[in-house]
Amino acid sequence: MSWNSEQKMQFLFTLRSKGVTDPRTLGAMEKVDRGQFVRGHFEDRAYDDMPLPISSGQTISQPSIVGLMTQALNVQPRDKVLEVGTGSGYQASILSHLARRVYTVDRHRRLTRESEALFSRMDLHNITVITGDGSFGLPDQAPFDRIILTAAAEDPPGPLLEQLKIGGIMVLPVGQSDTVQNLIKVTKTEAGLDYEELCNVRFVPLIEGLG
Ligand code: SAM
């Protein structure tokens, strides 16, 4: 399924009305058709502002939350970004239009395979997809300018904080998996870590090991 101009306009209007106002974020989201990431029964809901099921029992996140997270991450063109939780590949595709390079990790091999195929069909060549437990980060590729988690941890994982550059930003949902979580932005400075609470969210939990 691919979107027509009316669906795109409505999609961008909803994003703005939910607080996604950063022009670079909106520009990147305009380039990525969410219909390419949703299959089967839910295809006709692809442009609705709601999370939807994908394979391996996972979800593609709600577009306005993807937008708010991308906006908070404030990715710069030279940045190297790590995403934990590839899922459908939607968030990574948006990041690929904003960053120099995106590394995205998921614990489900089926999801990483499907996303990799999609990125190649979409000519997105600055994304590296890895199957693994992303809570340990990617020590070989560290440090990162930006880190985003799209699964909820009880606390920001230590290895990821270590792999964030000074001046870097991490955006993630924190809290118990079965309750409402807090979306937070962590900025690493010479003096330590600054925490900012953004909004309430509900994500699937960050789980140890491979799926
Ligand atoms: N960013 C995705 C998108 O754009 O479609 C949505 C991600 S979905 C809400 C959360 C993903 O986190 C799932 O695909 C799940 O397999 C993954 N996940 C959970 N724990 C993980 C871990 N420890 N390492 C890597 N991926 C993990």
Ligand 1 centroid distance, CA of 190 (Å): 30
Percent of the chain, pLDDT > 70? 99
Residue 1 scores a pLDDT above 80: no
105 lines ligand 1 (CB under 6 A): yes
> What b/e string do you get for 84-123 counting C-beta neighbours within 10 Å, with b at 16 or more?
bbbbbbbbbbbbbbbbebbbbbbbbeebbebbbebbeebe
CA of 194 to the centre of ligand 1 (A): 25
Measured in Å, residue 6 CA sits from the centre of ligand 1 at 30
Structural contact between residues 148 and 171, judged by C-beta atoms closer than 8 angstroms: yes
Q: Is 153 in the pocket of ligand 1 (CB under 6 A)?
A: no
pLDDT of the residue at 177: 66
pLDDT, one tens digit per residue, over 136-184 is: 999 999 999 999 999 999 999 999 999 999 999 999 999 986 778 999 9
Would the CB of 133 count as within 6 Å of ligand 1? yes
In this structure, are residues 137 and 163 in contact, taking their beta carbons and an 8 Å threshold?
Answer: yes
pLDDT of 54 strictly over 70: yes
In angstroms, what CA-CA distances link 6 with 9, 12, 47, 96, 199? 5, 10, 11, 25, 29
Q: Is the CB of 84 under 6 A from ligand 1?
A: yes
Mean pLDDT for the chain overall: 96
Q: Which of 1-5, 19-23, 124-128, 148-152 has the lowest mean pLDDT?
A: 1-5
Q: Is the pTM of this model over 0.85?
A: yes
Nearest residue (CA) to ligand 1, atom 12: 85
Distance CA 123, CA 98 (A): 15
Q: Is the pLDDT of residue 198 over 80?
A: yes
